[in-house]
Structure 1
Amino acid sequence: MVTDAESGKPIEGVAVVIQGTTLGANTNAAGRYFIISVPPGTYTVQARRLGFQSVNATDVRITIDVTREQNFKIKATNQTLAAITVQAEKTPLIERGQVGSGSTISEEQIQSLPVTSIAGVLALQQGFQEVPQNTSLISVAEEQRNTSQPIRVRGSRGGSTLSMIDGVPINNSIFGSNAIDINSFAVSGVDFRRGNMDPQYGNALSGIVNSSIREGGSQVAGSISFQNGTLPGELFNSTQDKLGGNNLLRGYLAGPVPGTNSKLRYSVSGQVESGAARVLEFDQDIFSVNQDVERSEVLPAYSRDLIKGWQAFGGRQNAQFVGKLTFLPFDNTKINFTAIGAERANRPYDRRFMFSYQPDPLSLVNNRADSLFVINDQGLVLQRDLTPTSIRDKSNMFIASVEQRWGRSSLTLRAAQLDFERVTCPIYRGVCLPAPFCQANFAQGFINPSPTLCSTVPDQGATGQLFGGEKFTDRTFRADFQSQVTDHNNLQFGAQLVQHDLVYSDRAAGPGQSGITPLTYQVYRAKPYDAAAYVQSVIEYDFISIRLGGRFDYGVARGSSFANPLDPANGTTAREVCNGATVAGKQLLNAQGQPYGTTGCFASAENPATKRPILLDSATSIAQGDDFTAARARTAFSPRIGVNFPLTERSQLFFNAGRYTKVPNYADVYRNTGTGTVAGLTADADRYCAATQVKPGTAECAPDIRATNPTYVGNVNLLLEEAKSYEVGYSTTLGEQNNYGLQVAVYNRSETGLTGIRASRALNDIGSTYDGSAPQYRVVVNGDFLTARGMEISLDRRLSNRYQYSVNYGIARSTSNSQAPDRADEIARTEANRVQLIETLTDGNITHTANASVTYRVQNDLPTLPFNAGRLLRNTTASFTYQIRSGNPYTPVRATSLANIGVTNAASDINSGTAPSVQDMGLQLDKRFAIKNVNYSAFFRVSNLLDRKNCAQVFVNTGKCDAGLRDFQNRRVGNTGDVTTSTGFDQPEFIGARRSLFTGITVSF
């Protein structure tokens, strides 16, 4: 609102403009103005009118999806006077009219904290968790297909959080993880919502992370930063940092294109990062050939580790470029074009870490193609499996948008394309090899791709277990319209269409007695689509704020699968057809119009092609007529409401409730369904099934329900997953200058219709329609559920008297009837004694979480110190963070050796144990100085300042990460093997995060 500074009356016709942009509006008769669709950032806003002195309000902070109020008081004058510059009211710690909990993170916060990624900042907020590399929490499939850490929000499953860039989704539509991790220098702000989610956001059950790409302004600005971990490792003699070899180079440049009168603007940013995948610490108790075995020792000496101290394994690299071009042809029109290119590679240190004591390197057990022979100080030949698996992905994204304004209304049109490709493969001498394969002789470097030979020649060992990945293109088309229809009502509506083009192919194998056994070959192709439309009315008064809306989702998976996923014959097998059953209008009758009966079908002549009775083949063909059905449309309507009740000028109550839906991961929709395949075993086919194993009337393979298939079958008719969420909260500002913000929220979320694995009904099919046996296969249906509830409290202090802080605490509990399908499938195949019959804690349940961050900043207002030492602190910033949380659940195993792992009741209840708590302290010191218009800074950063041994994963029989039973599934990340398989014990090594040091420099202007 704009009012007269003398009389307080509203002034009509005042032009309010955001400097450096073409955005602005004129006040109406009530003195009100509205400027909508403002990109996130910090601006100077000017109010001017003929006959009045202009006023500039500086440091007006705009965040995503939040209304900012900026009022002006201007003085009448008949002279031309310079504009008055005033400091805008500080951005409120508690947003007026908020209806749900969330966090808005600015560019400044990201750069000032001792973290290197956006996820690192979000991890300091309640509800956000980066899942550690823990194979009890994530499946082998998830471990081997991701180059970045999965995320969970408020105890949800992976993939339940929507990640967006400029309003366009960037999730991997096949697996649900992020296809792109945007670098922190590329963004102007990040909005993390875990409570109420407006209906414009869909395909999420637990939260959204929306990043806004930085736009170029009317002035040139930029920054470049480099940090390294090796140098401080040398200076402070930190072995783990010297081995880690971490390097990070990133920066941005933004401004107007010369000669365009600021009509054309650019912003470019990039990042290059590299380092070891993991640096692990082994204990000091190693094997020596001259060491006597004491009677008191339970284990023989040769069961100990063969190396000690710190070791580096694997590697990671990522490179990213982000460019955004902004064209302002008219004052009310803006055109943006964004391009993102990213490549990530990760060679993780995984479960295949083997040491063997052998006198001859050619006879080492389980030789691996990417291994290294090491001679230790006892003269032992060690075989170190460095990183046999490489995960590489590449993504490109293009976004074009047009924004048109008419007074208080705006229309934004977006078109985007996301291309993503991943390959996971074993590495031999730097070459990505197809799998499965084995090696015959490491010394000769001979690689034999024949699984049959591998399993029959004793001296050959498994080297690779997985090759392949996904490739997809997602095209998004979106239109959003909003209008401030009255001073108190903002109307929003829009629609979105996402088209997917998916291709998936991989080969997986598992270990055999002396080599590898090929297990699965997975391939499918599909072009599903998802569409949505939404409407929302935002009503804002001084005494109440209401956000009321709804979303309608519609999608089709495309493809076909079993009409009854639990019964491949859909109730009619060849037996029923022989006995006279009619299927899809067809019936098998003799010349007299009578059914043949089962005996008659078997008594017919033999079909030379199939070597089976002709009538039985005919009955089988008829029985298949109703077995398959095309994917049906999945629809849902999701109402959502958020209400805010101001109690005083400083405090407010809020409430929100909503129904949220999510498209099932397409990996579960299409797995083993044969969608998009070409039947046959010839070179021009997919070699996924025989030419006769097809869906009726097609050349597409039938679902793979053979008893030899160890994985589950997908279902193209999966419905949308659903969550009902409720949240109640209280927030207030405290202190004379409102420098403190307090917020408390209590939430409950119930998720139903989640994808889960179920066993089919046992079927006796005399026609052997899809397999030569009578299989009882496993299939995905909408049968799982999850419940999450908790309380969060936060206290924030804005920057004042040189320091600011944020403290938050959360208590939560999330339970489910099952793990996510990949992990549940893994448990069913490898840990058969773990049968979940009741609702238990989820793998991602974190009972207690507390975070704190403190920043102390000295600019030119120097502190008073003896001997005028305050000058040394000029332009200095110190940031400190502290995190503590409960450990993740795990399932204890009451066993003392490999021999009784499979004994009934050897495993306790699912997730009934809790790993040790995790604590981390971070520190960053930054010293800046300026030369003309360029700022230089040198910084020093420490992660895990106290060098605490934080467990990434525990041994299941002890609950510790440094002592216990050898992982009987050989899945524990970083587990050492030994030759004492009779006892199964392992001399421990530490698996987890330790202290790391970084030094760096930043140049900005």
Structure 2
Amino acid sequence: MSNHFSFIRVTTAFLAVLALIIVPSAEAQTTGKIAGTVTDASNGEGLPGVNVVILGTTTGGVTDAEGDYFILNISPGSYDIQASSIGFTTTTVQNVEVYVDQTTTVDFDLAEEVIEGEEVIVTAERPLVERDVTGSVHRLNAEALARTPIQNIDDILAQQTGVYNTGYTAYLRGGVQSEVNYQIDGTSLNSGLISDNWQRLNTTSIQEVSVLTGGYNAEYGNAMSGVVNVVTHEPSAFSRHYAGALNYRLRPAGQYHWGDNMYSQDLWKYTNFDLGYWQTQLETQANQNAYAEYFRRFYGWDGTRVPTANELLDTYRQQITPADVLANYAERMQHEMEGSIWGSPMDHLTFLVSGRYKKGVNIFPQSNAYNPERNIQVKLGYHFSPGQKLTLNVTNGWYHSSTVTESNWNNTTTSQEARWQPNADIRSPYVGSAYAPWGGYWLKGPEEKNFNVGTLKWDHTLSPRTFYTVSLSYLRDYTTSLQEYDKLNTNTETVRWGDSWFDLAGNFRLEARQIQVNNYSDSRAWTAKADITSQLHKSHQLKAGAEFKLYDVDYQHYYMEFPAGDVWHLDNVFDGNPAEAAIYLQDKMEYEGIVLNIGVRFDAFNARTMYSPNIYDPLLFQTHNGGDGTHPRNIAPIWQAHQPGKDWFAFRQDFRDAFPDNWEDLQTVSSEWKMAIAPRLGLSFPITENSKLRFSYGHFNQRPSWVSLMGFPTSWYDAAPYATVRMDQWQGWYGHPGLSYDRTIQYELGFTQNFFDFARLDLAAYYKDASRLTRYAYNGTYNRNGGGFASTSWGAGNSAGTIWSKTRNIANDGHDNIFYTNNAFKDIRGIEIVAEKLFTGRWAARAAFDFSTTTGGRAGYSQYREDGTTVNRPHSYDELKATWLSSYVLKGNVSYVTPQSLMMGVLGDITVGVYHEYFAGPQYTYYPADFQGLQRPNNRRWFPHHRTDLTFNKQVAVGNFRPVIGVEVFNLFNYKDRLLLVGDDLKRWEEDGELPKISKSGEDNLWSFYNPVSNPRRMIYFTLGLKF
């Protein structure tokens, strides 16, 4: 009851504040500003009363007494700006670029009109030194995307400064990808439950994408490491027009991993087991008896007849002849189609419709032939007047994938075994599931995600100085991962639960019913949001905003084993209605010698759940907590499984129904509101027109995922479900409603210099002090616990270092409770150097260098003991502060567009874009066994990562249409990434240069030594497109 009233009080207070700030403004994250001064060309004095308008729209402004003007709430894009006044020549500045959260300066010098109707037209050039940018932001508009070898948002992110992409995941200045918030047109794409972002947006719909890695304003929350802000095309509502782009991309069939084909008949698993091998096997009576029983069980023989050597050979070859879905993995073409169209079919109405379908093909064999995906985006806007607009924005996404995805189902955010449990694809010809990757033994099932988000936004300009937006949005992320037992050919009499069927040689599981893992997560979020912007005067812009979000989450993870004929369940099931809220205030002050961004953000969340008052007994099992010592009392959510079909062993009865009396005096406590304040400060000091110095400081808070706050793992046995329910450390970790915000404090110093109006140099140095973390990962060029081009493990890099502590209760029944804690910290320091020639004329170029060092670890206690006679165990017993890791990254790209008339147009409008990246290899420690002297950690560095990508296309103008034909090449020079070896493999490599071996066959293990994810074999895509 107290939780209920607390929620009402906080909600009421929040809505009261929200009501106070709902006055004019647009969504700050999606628009920019134009400002400048209009002067008299004859004397340089400001001209009052000059009309400045954006051509093709009804948007504009009027200069004040000093000749200054500003125009607010402008969608990013390219515009023509016109200034006119009676008695002066009308002047138009063309191709003025507007960027999100940025002021574009456009000044006019108007001459007295000599000839009536005379007009001056000039072309704007993007300034190399952007004086009002106080943080680190990297922007790409639609034109830049077309010149760059990218296929999706992930590729865009990977090419930015400060971003390190391993092929499995991305790190932004040492932060993991779950610390990044993705947005589309101001709406978050983060579901909140397991910190997933929907990233598979359509690139043809994008007007601008910006990647913020440091110093971003207070309006951005729940993002410790970065923000990816996507703004889609926004057509003018007051001119009839259409525009669009269509793309088709084809990747030919082929083998794109290293090593031989997984099912090549030249491999040892074929050549070693010839007729002579089987003749030798039949020389002993024991083997003859075993084969007779084998054929009785799996092939229906009578159990007395012994197969001949030829029958054994034929049977074995049939067993290792893969199903077509596996055998033909290198014979499938990948297709992708995408199209976007936007425009204004009638006055006041605008639209954007975008769709994409991809028939994805894994480079590895997998349980399904394809990994299909789709994404549909629709935006409708109606302008009731030039200053009033209603917009509906809808995104619908879906995929079905048998390989690793960006979802956090692939790491320990969701369950402990997710860190090491492979997906349903085959990455070595000798993995035990090579011929049956569809469930039964340590494999995840294919993952299917249905993602929907819709936003209704009201935009209202109250005056030239003030505008506001109010939006309501609904998001649903429904994800499943289900093993595919329906693909098994045997029945439970042939292969019983808890058993496997191996091939005759004992190398591969042909079918198995040993383990079942099924996952469901359903996250819904309703968001109310309001933002206001007011230009108090020409140098002072104030923003404020508030947001309230209510969730409905349903999380079900089932893991079942079958020891000793019983069914052992390791489950994590919970649901609830958590909530969070935020308020921010941001002040942007622009003066001649300084630009200041000062802001503060207030965040709050409440898991709105009930939990045990005793951390040592979350199930309220023990008698001193009111239990009876026999049955747990706090497990209501455990058996509320409602998914049909797959969960044969999920118990269907609610614990409340079985033991109603135990709930009459249940003593639980309610979660509380957790709050955090984040000050932000950014300063830019324009030294001259060609240089500036900037500094930023800020606190960046992020709520732990709801599974970290509400998770409820238990174990139990089918034979006696109620009597055997225990907390269990093997499944995962208990959500901890007492967790607070993760926090990073960041400092950044930057300098920008323009060289001869040709190129600019950006220097940045940053320091990030991360504390109270619930997740820990090294920065470096790889992640020790999974991910990274040279990692020793597989899976998503986000899996690294979920932070937990353990409790040992008085009963000490062996089922210790492990729970999430805010005990981790990181120390990250780095510099970034970027030299850039912007796209002017025909070409652009960019080179970036990152260097960073990282350390971190855990603080506090690793084990808490209920028995007060023993001391708690601090983390320092098992993990001290980690050694420093350093990394350096080089990235560069260049693009060139040929003149339209080159060779009579035959070689005109050809675009060539090249991107190259270099990552230093990971540090590691190795000393020969006979080394004498002091051994320093990280004394060696592994092989680096290289990759070069290319885009080449030819465009032809046919009236208003521009057909495009092209080719894209990834890993142009076929660079190989070598996985960092460990143990004896590393020793043999260091001492003899010997490649790692397959233990059974002695073959070189090229499939695992060369990382096919970060650097697959050269991939060539053929493209067709149409622009209009």
| Common fold: TM-score over 0.5 | yes
Match for 2:574 among 524, 539, 564? 524
The 1:20–1:365 alpha-carbon spacing in structure 2 relative to 1, beyond 3 Å, is closer
1:800, distance to aligned residue in structure 2 (A): 4.2
Contact 1:535 1:551 in 2 (8 A): yes
Match for 2:229 among 191, 196, 210? 210
1:231, distance to aligned residue in structure 2 (A): 7.9
1:551, distance to aligned residue in structure 2 (A): 0.7
Match for 2:456 among 400, 410, 422? 400
The 1:800–1:493 alpha-carbon spacing in structure 2 relative to 1, beyond 3 Å, is closer
1:456 and 1:922 mapped to 2: Cα distance?
43
Check if 1:270 corresponds to 2:355: yes
2:526 maps to a residue whose letter is R
1:552 and 1:356 mapped to 2: Cα distance?
50
1:944, distance to aligned residue in structure 2 (A): 0.6
2:949 and 2:82 mapped to 1: Cα distance?
40
Check if 1:227 corresponds to 2:227: no
1:35, distance to aligned residue in structure 2 (A): 1.0
> After superposition, where does 1:377-416 map in structure 2 within 5 Å?
389-405=445-461, 406-416=463-473
The 1:909–1:425 alpha-carbon spacing in structure 2 relative to 1, beyond 3 Å, is farther
Contact 2:445 2:484 in 1 (8 A): yes
Match for 1:762 among 783, 790, 808? 808
Contact 1:878 1:924 in 2 (8 A): yes
Q: What's 2:100 paired with? A: 64
The 1:425–1:912 alpha-carbon spacing in structure 2 relative to 1, beyond 3 Å, is farther
User: How far does the alpha carbon of each residue in 1:736-790 deviate from its partner, in whole angstroms, 9 at most, with x for none?
Assistant: xx1201011110111111125444342224xxxxxx9264321112111122111
Contact 2:567 2:719 in 1 (8 A): no
Match for 1:535 among 565, 585, 592? 585
Match for 2:83 among 27, 47, 69? 47
Check if 1:994 corresponds to 2:1017: yes
The 1:807–1:997 alpha-carbon spacing in structure 2 relative to 1, beyond 3 Å, is same
1:884 and 1:485 mapped to 2: Cα distance?
47
Q: What's 1:748 paired with? A: 767
Contact 1:166 1:212 in 2 (8 A): yes
Q: What's 1:185 paired with? A: 204
2:38 maps to a residue whose letter is V
2:495 and 2:116 mapped to 1: Cα distance?
85
The 1:872–1:720 alpha-carbon spacing in structure 2 relative to 1, beyond 3 Å, is same
User: How far does the alpha carbon of each residue in 1:223-274 deviate from its partner, in whole angstroms, 9 at most, with x for none?
Assistant: 111121218999xxx99996462222112111112xx32x101111111122
1:516 and 1:366 mapped to 2: Cα distance?
24
Q: What's 2:915 paired with? A: 881
1:502, distance to aligned residue in structure 2 (A): 0.7
Contact 2:888 2:920 in 1 (8 A): yes
Contact 1:928 1:938 in 2 (8 A): yes
- Equivalenced residue count is 814
> After superposition, where does 1:193-592 map in structure 2 within 5 Å?
193-217=212-236, 218=239, 219-230=241-252, 243=331, 245-257=333-345, 260-261=346-347, 263-279=348-364, 315-348=370-403, 350=422, 369-370=436-437, 389-405=445-461, 406-427=463-484, 442=489, 444=490, 451=497, 461-462=512-513, 465-509=516-560, 518-563=568-613, 565=615, 574=624
Contact 2:93 2:121 in 1 (8 A): yes
User: How far does the alpha carbon of each residue in 1:524-550 deviate from its partner, in whole angstroms, 9 at most, with x for none?
Assistant: 101111101111111111111111111
> After superposition, where does 1:96-115 map in structure 2 within 5 Å?
96-115=131-150
1:633, distance to aligned residue in structure 2 (A): 0.7
User: How far does the alpha carbon of each residue in 1:980-1003 deviate from its partner, in whole angstroms, 9 at most, with x for none?
Assistant: 7xx999675544122100111111
2:949 maps to a residue whose letter is G
The 1:962–1:875 alpha-carbon spacing in structure 2 relative to 1, beyond 3 Å, is farther
SS in 2 for 1:647: strand
Contact 1:278 1:348 in 2 (8 A): no
> After superposition, where does 1:564-643 map in structure 2 within 5 Å?
565=615, 574=624, 625=667, 628-643=668-683
1:20, distance to aligned residue in structure 2 (A): 2.8
1:185, distance to aligned residue in structure 2 (A): 1.1
1:764 maps to a residue whose letter is I
The 1:180–1:158 alpha-carbon spacing in structure 2 relative to 1, beyond 3 Å, is closer
The 1:929–1:520 alpha-carbon spacing in structure 2 relative to 1, beyond 3 Å, is same
SS in 1 for 2:672: coil
The 1:341–1:915 alpha-carbon spacing in structure 2 relative to 1, beyond 3 Å, is farther
Check if 1:654 corresponds to 2:690: no
Check if 1:91 corresponds to 2:112: no
Q: What's 1:154 paired with? A: 173
Q: What's 1:597 paired with? A: none
Contact 1:884 1:919 in 2 (8 A): yes
Contact 1:875 1:927 in 2 (8 A): yes
1:564, distance to aligned residue in structure 2 (A): 5.0
1:461, distance to aligned residue in structure 2 (A): 2.1
1:958 and 1:68 mapped to 2: Cα distance?
57
Percent pairwise identity? 21
Contact 2:495 2:512 in 1 (8 A): no
1:855 maps to a residue whose letter is S
The 1:102–1:534 alpha-carbon spacing in structure 2 relative to 1, beyond 3 Å, is same
Q: What's 2:838 paired with? A: 798
SS in 1 for 2:683: strand
The 1:511–1:10 alpha-carbon spacing in structure 2 relative to 1, beyond 3 Å, is farther
2:816 and 2:134 mapped to 1: Cα distance?
49
1:727, distance to aligned residue in structure 2 (A): 0.6
1:365, distance to aligned residue in structure 2 (A): 7.6
Query: Alpha carbon RMSD of aligned pairs, Å?
Result: 4.5
Q: What's 1:667 paired with? A: 707
Check if 1:721 corresponds to 2:742: yes
TM-score normalised by length of structure 1:
0.73
SS in 1 for 2:974: coil
1:802 maps to a residue whose letter is R
2:763 maps to a residue whose letter is V
Contact 1:560 1:631 in 2 (8 A): yes
The 1:52–1:246 alpha-carbon spacing in structure 2 relative to 1, beyond 3 Å, is same
The 1:920–1:730 alpha-carbon spacing in structure 2 relative to 1, beyond 3 Å, is same
2:385 maps to a residue whose letter is F
The 1:568–1:114 alpha-carbon spacing in structure 2 relative to 1, beyond 3 Å, is closer
User: How far does the alpha carbon of each residue in 1:36-58 deviate from its partner, in whole angstroms, 9 at most, with x for none?
Assistant: 12111111122223443322211
Contact 1:314 1:386 in 2 (8 A): no
The 1:689–1:740 alpha-carbon spacing in structure 2 relative to 1, beyond 3 Å, is farther
Out of 493-502 and 460-469, give the one that drifted further: 460-469
Gaps of 5+ in 2: 1-36, 262-327, 405-421, 504-508, 629-655, 775-801, 862-874, 930-934
SS in 1 for 2:182: strand
1:575 and 1:48 mapped to 2: Cα distance?
80
2:1020 maps to a residue whose letter is L
Contact 2:713 2:728 in 1 (8 A): no
2:988 and 2:104 mapped to 1: Cα distance?
49
1:957 and 1:314 mapped to 2: Cα distance?
37
Q: What's 1:732 paired with? A: 753
Contact 1:353 1:385 in 2 (8 A): no
Check if 1:839 corresponds to 2:881: yes
SS in 2 for 1:208: strand
The 1:166–1:59 alpha-carbon spacing in structure 2 relative to 1, beyond 3 Å, is same
Q: What's 1:605 paired with? A: none
1:313 and 1:953 mapped to 2: Cα distance?
30
Check if 1:1003 corresponds to 2:1005: no
> After superposition, where does 1:127-142 map in structure 2 within 5 Å?
127-133=162-168
